[in-house]
């Protein structure tokens, strides 16, 4: 037989239970728009304190009231996992799309400012020179167009170089390695890994004290979502409520320890200026180059764009193409240039050069052979897109362009056949360029970059659709529905009122008995 | 019936997302219409971009070829006009020569006729020095110094490139070049006396006499004699006919070059039109289509805005 005041306690418990339920609703509504907040629920069950020592009559299973088991979060581990997987891929393609569009804008051939246009202008001015070889204005326009062409090569190359340095740095400028996008992302990631380890510790502590640290769990889930943007991380939930993070088979976080972190080492060559290593605080190195482990996420996009993987869209790939083009083009023009005769303006503007190695018979050659048209501005010995420039001898004196052929006589300054040959280089396939003409090569490169970029963008679109669906699905699970909360509010309010009524009734019953005693 | 738990973040997420999609489509269409271009970078449409870039290459070349053709036509026309004038001069000379052969012509008439022929020689020399722009067109590859000069009175020397391989060629389409000049010495000829040891009257002088000028100067020299040899004069009449034939041949050569240029030009212009159409088809927007798409997109955006505002508002709160 329960005590006389049992009912009062029972009613009081019911009142505080309803109060707690309303508090939860309060918190749910307050966090309705908080990102990462999962709707909390009061888990209520019927109270039963049946003990094996009570006899059957006393063991009244009814009338014990209700008790709060726990405050749970609405969460679906499966959705969380697939959302994080898709987040990794999406941020990979997003980052790569940004990079690809930037590269496409740098080497844009669709507007009237690209290499194609400047090459065209150069060839056209040479063709004009072929018809008017002793016209100084035409010669000067060839020089100007050549300078514009070289500058366009240089500027495009520098822009690409800068883009690459911004992403992964440059080993010749060590300070760029720590200022690169990769370095900043790696630091963020390391901090987030530490934060997960800390949260693991706190969560473990709270759980062991019998608490449900829902706010901390939400925080950790939010962090895990963020970490998934950087690398394809494996997340395992451990029995003590901590999570273990791994990249491939390398542990990054276990329990309260950040057992692995990322560090950037300067590469051997500028093809891969930054190498990502995984180490621990004790100094052990788990991976000397994590490139093959980081297959997705925004760090992968940065590494790949700045790396030298021939199958990917890389800045190096584009720079190499431009270098081949610049060097092949310059060599072809120089070969024709040095096989002709220029106008020896310092001696006699009406006479061609009597080249030392190709004299005009019957006299012996007295003039220097024609100088190269294009040279490397840094005297490195190889012409690249970065250093191609017009020989100062020619830009100072446009008469030095060898427009006439070797077969012409001394006074035949009207011979433009060598200039014509230079202009006809536009129709000539060059072996190093895969047999393509200079402009055909630009078309190929543009097409290749466009196709790769399109591919990345298409994947980005697909992934963002998938992620959108999963995000919405997850919001449907963890989000707060105002209608639901308000319904619950009414429910628990009524329940509270009713419990109070019960309390009042019991109180009246007791009063009746006490009065009878009177 | 299965239903999804619709939470407030779910609703706002989907509304914001859909509105963003609609807006970005709208902005994209607006950009296309204001720029008139369908593609701004290669990845927008790779195949179309490649067509645009290769069309740009070919159009650049065609522009250049057309410029060359116009230039060449100018030069050829100048040469044709020069030859026409020369033909007139040859006819005049023939009439004068016939007058000289006339039995009644005395020494005074001869002097008058000779001075007229001398005028014609000057005229032919000037025609030989015709310029197109800054170039002497009859000097072959030597376009700068004057081709026909008179170092000694009564002689005319040709200083330009000799006839043969020294023609100036202009590119008029891929790999096709045509000559735009005819050599001055073959058409106009020359007459001068070379003295290898530079001592007058040693008898080893070489007379360079050829072509029209050769005939004219020989004729003039004969008429200046006190008693001109009528047989010699008659022979010059036959030479004049040969010279005339040479000039007529040159003229027909120029004419056929001109018509070839004309034909190439019209082919190139056809190509230019085709390429421009291909390029435009690849990169330009279809205005009517794009504008109607824009209007459709505007309606879609308005509708989703309207619906969204209605979906966000109501909750149970409104009825409590």
pLDDT at A63: 63
Task: Decide if B96 contacts B117 (C-beta within 8 A).
Answer: yes
Length of chain B: 320
Query: For A420, which of B72, B166, B169 is closest by C-beta distance?
Result: B169
Residue B82, φ and ψ in degrees, nearest 5: -60, -40
Residue B173, φ and ψ in degrees, nearest 5: -165, 175
The residues in A 104-143 lying below 8 A from B, measured between CB atoms, are: 104-105, 108-110, 116-117, 120-121, 123-124, 127-128, 130-135
Residues 6+ apart with CB under 8 A from A323: A157, A384, A385, A386
Of B37, B27, B72, B18, the C-alpha closest to B306 is B18
| DSSP sequence for A443-467 | HHHHHHHHHHHHHHHHHHHHHHHHH
Tokens describing residue A418: 């060598």
Q: How far apart are the first and last CA of chain A?
A: 25
**Can you name the residues that pair with A263 across neighbouring β-strands?**
A277
CA angle A427, A429, A430 (to 5 degrees): 130
A451: which chain B residues are within 8 Å (Cβ-Cβ)?
A: 43, 46
Residues 6+ apart with CB under 8 A from B8: A32, A33, A479, A480, A481, A482
- Rounded Cα gap, residues A477 and A73, in angstroms: 10
Of A440, A420, A404, A418, the C-alpha closest to A328 is A440
Of A340, A353, A420, A409, the C-alpha closest to B168 is A420
A187/chain B closest Cα distance in angstroms: 30
Handedness of CA B31, B33, B34, B38 (dihedral sign): positive
pLDDT tens for each residue of B257-290: 999 999 999 999 999 999 999 999 998 999 999 9
What is the C-alpha R_g of chain B? Answer: 39
Tens place of pLDDT for every residue, chain A, 518 residues? 566 777 888 888 889 999 999 999 999 999 988 888 999 998 888 876 654 454 444 545 556 778 888 888 888 888 999 999 999 999 999 999 999 999 999 998 887 788 999 999 999 999 999 988 888 899 999 999 999 999 999 999 999 999 999 999 999 998 899 999 999 999 999 999 999 999 999 999 998 888 888 999 999 999 999 999 999 999 999 988 899 999 999 999 999 999 999 999 999 998 999 999 999 988 899 999 999 999 999 999 999 999 999 999 999 999 999 999 999 999 999 999 999 999 987 777 778 888 888 888 777 888 889 999 999 999 898 999 999 999 999 999 999 999 999 988 888 888 899 999 999 999 899 988 889 999 999 999 999 999 999 999 999 999 999 999 999 889 888 989 888 899 999 999 999 999 999 999 988 988 998 898 76
Owner of token pair 């034939």: B245
Tokens describing residue B43: 């990845």
Task: Decide if A344 contacts A353 (C-beta within 8 A).
Answer: yes
Tokens describing residue A506: 């019991």
Tokens describing residue A447: 């097409």
A416–B contact, CB cutoff 8 A: yes
B52/chain A closest Cα distance in angstroms: 7
Q: Which CATH number fits domain B58-276: 1.10.3720.10, 3.40.50.970, 1.20.1330.10, 3.10.450.50?
A: 1.20.1330.10
The residues in B 3-42 lying below 8 A from A, measured between CB atoms, are: 4-10, 12-14, 17, 39-42
Number of helices and strands in chain B (H, E): 7, 8
The torsion defined by the Cα of A290, A292, A298 and A303, in degrees rounded to 10, comes to 80
A416: which chain B residues are within 8 Å (Cβ-Cβ)?
A: 168
B174–A contact, CB cutoff 8 A: yes
A464–B contact, CB cutoff 8 A: no
ipTM of the complex model = 0.85
Q: Using CB atoms within 10 A of its CB, is residue B153 exposed (0-12), middle (13-18) or buried (19+)? A: exposed
HSE-up (13 A, CA, CB side) for residue B67: 15
DSSP-derived secondary structure letter, B135:
E
Length of chain A: 518
- Residue A287: enclosing H or E segment and its boundaries? strand A285-287
The answer to whether the CB atoms of A130 and B170 lie below 8 A apart is yes
How do A274-279 and A261-266 pair as beta strands?
antiparallel
Owner of token pair 């030859």: B83
> Which residue in A112, A450, A469 has the most chain B C-beta atoms within 10 A of its own C-beta, making it the best mutation to test that interface?
A450
Q: Is A38 helix (H, G, I), strand (E, B) or coil?
A: coil
Task: Decide if A282 contacts A301 (C-beta within 8 A).
Answer: no
Handedness of CA A221, A222, A225, A226 (dihedral sign): negative
Of A155, A185, A179, the C-alpha closest to A165 is A179
Task: Decide if A152 contacts A118 (C-beta within 8 A).
Answer: yes
- Rounded Cα gap, residues A459 and A312, in angstroms: 14
pLDDT tens for each residue of B118-162: 999 999 999 999 998 888 888 888 887 888 988 888 889 888 887
| Domain residue limits, chain A | 6-74+479-517, 91-171+315-451, 175-266+273-306
- Rounded Cα gap, residues B304 and B300, in angstroms: 6
Tokens describing residue B292: 């109607």
User: Is the whole-model pTM more than 0.90?
Assistant: no
- Rounded Cα gap, residues B80 and B87, in angstroms: 11
pLDDT tens for each residue of B222-234: 888 888 888 898 8
Other beta carbons within 10 Å of A214 = 18
pLDDT at A188: 96
String of b and e for B196-214 (b: at least 16 CB within 10 Å)?
A: eeeeeeeeeeeeeeebbbb
**Can you name the residues that pair with A376 across neighbouring β-strands?**
A388
pLDDT tens for each residue of B59-118: 999 999 999 999 999 999 999 999 999 999 999 999 999 988 887 778 888 889 899 999
Tokens describing residue B50: 């490649």
């Amino acid at each position: 037989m329960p005590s006389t005041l049992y009912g009062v306690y029972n009613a009081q418990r019911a009142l505080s239970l309803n109060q707690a339920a309303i508090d939860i609703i309060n918190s749910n509504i307050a966090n309705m728009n908080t990102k990462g907040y999962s709707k909390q629920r009061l888990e209520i069950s019927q109270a039963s304190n049946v003990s094996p020592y009570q006899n059957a009559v006393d063991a009244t299973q009814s009338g014990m009231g209700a008790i709060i088991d726990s405050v749970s979060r609405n969460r679906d581990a499966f959705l969380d996992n697939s959302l994080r997987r898709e987040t990794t891929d999406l941020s990979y393609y997003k980052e790569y799309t940004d990079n690809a569009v930037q590269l496409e804008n740098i080497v844009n051939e669709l507007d009237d400012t690209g290499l194609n246009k400047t090459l065209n202008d150069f060839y056209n001015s040479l063709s004009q020179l072929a018809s008017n070889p002793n016209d100084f204005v035409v010669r000067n326009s060839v020089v100007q167009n050549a300078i514009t062409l070289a500058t366009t090569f240089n500027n495009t190359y520098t822009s690409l170089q800068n883009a690459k340095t911004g992403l992964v740095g440059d080993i010749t400028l060590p300070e760029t390695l720590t200022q690169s996008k990769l370095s900043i992302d790696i630091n963020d990631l390391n901090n987030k890994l530490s934060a997960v380890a800390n949260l693991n510790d706190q969560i473990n502590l709270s759980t062991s004290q019998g608490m449900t640290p829902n706010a901390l769990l939400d925080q950790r889930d939010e962090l895990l979502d963020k970490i998934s943007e950087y690398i394809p991380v494996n997340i395992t939930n451990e029995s003590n409520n901590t999570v273990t993070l791994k990249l491939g088979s390398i542990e990054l976080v276990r329990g309260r320890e950040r057992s692995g972190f990322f560090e950037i080492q300067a590469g051997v060559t500028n093809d891969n200026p930054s190498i990502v290593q995984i180490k621990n605080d004790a100094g052990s190195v788990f991976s000397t180059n994590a490139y093959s482990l980081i297959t997705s996420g925004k760090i992968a996009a940065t590494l790949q764009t700045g790396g030298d993987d021939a199958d990917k869209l890389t800045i190096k790939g584009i720079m190499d193409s431009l270098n081949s083009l610049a060097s092949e083009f310059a060599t072809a023009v120089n070969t024709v240039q040095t096989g002709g005769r220029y106008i020896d303006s310092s001696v006699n503007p009406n006479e061609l050069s009597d080249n030392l190695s190709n004299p005009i018979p019957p006299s012996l050659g007295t003039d220097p052979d024609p100088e190269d048209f294009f040279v490397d501005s840094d005297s490195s010995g190889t012409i690249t897109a970065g250093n191609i420039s017009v020989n100062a001898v020619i830009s100072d004196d446009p008469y030095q362009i060898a427009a006439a052929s070797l077969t012409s006589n001394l006074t035949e300054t009207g011979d433009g056949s060598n200039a014509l040959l230079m202009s006809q280089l536009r129709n000539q396939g060059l072996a190093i360029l895969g047999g393509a003409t200079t402009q055909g090569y630009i078309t190929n490169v543009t097409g290749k970059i466009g196709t790769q970029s399109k591919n990345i963008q298409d994947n980005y679109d697909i992934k963002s659709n998938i992620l959108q669906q999963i995000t919405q699905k997850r919001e449907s699970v963890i989000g707060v529905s105002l209608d639901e909360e308000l319904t619950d509010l009414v429910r628990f309010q009524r329940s509270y009122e009713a419990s109070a009524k019960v309390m009042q009734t019991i109180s009246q019953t007791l009063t009746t008995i006490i009065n009878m005693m009177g | 019936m299965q239903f999804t738990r619709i939470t407030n973040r779910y609703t706002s997420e989907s509304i914001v997302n859909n509105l963003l999609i609609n807006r970005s489509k709208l902005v994209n269409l607006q950009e296309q219409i204001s720029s008139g271009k369908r593609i701004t970078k290669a990845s927008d449409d790779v195949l179309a971009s490649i067509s645009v870039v290769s069309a740009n290459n070919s159009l650049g070349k065609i522009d250049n070829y057309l410029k060359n053709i116009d230039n060449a036509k100018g030069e050829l026309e100048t040469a044709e006009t020069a030859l026409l004038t020369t033909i007139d001069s040859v006819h005049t000379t023939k009439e004068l020569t016939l007058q000289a052969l006339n039995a009644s012509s005395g020494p005074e008439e001869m002097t008058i006729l000779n001075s007229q022929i001398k005028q014609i020689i000057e005229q032919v020399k000037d025609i030989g020095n015709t310029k197109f722009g800054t170039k002497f067109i009859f000097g072959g590859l030597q376009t700068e110094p004057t081709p026909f000069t008179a170092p000694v009175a009564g002689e005319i020397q040709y200083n330009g490139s000799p006839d043969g391989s020294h023609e100036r060629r202009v590119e008029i389409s891929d790999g096709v070049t045509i000559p735009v000049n005819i050599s001055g010495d073959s058409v106009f000829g020359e007459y001068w006396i070379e003295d290898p040891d530079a001592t007058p009257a040693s008898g080893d002088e070489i007379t360079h006499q050829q072509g029209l000028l050769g005939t004219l100067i020989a004729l003039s020299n004969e008429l200046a004699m006190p008693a001109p040899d009528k047989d010699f004069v008659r022979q010059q009449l036959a030479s004049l006919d040969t010279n005339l034939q040479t000039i007529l041949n040159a003229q027909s050569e120029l004419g056929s070059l001109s018509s070839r240029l004309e034909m190439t030009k019209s082919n190139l212009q056809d190509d230019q039109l085709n390429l421009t159409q291909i390029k435009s088809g690849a990169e330009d927007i279809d205005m009517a289509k794009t504008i109607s798409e824009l209007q459709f997109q505007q309606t879609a955006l308005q509708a989703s805005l309207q619906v969204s505002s209605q979906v966000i508002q109501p909750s149970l709160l409104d009825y409590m």
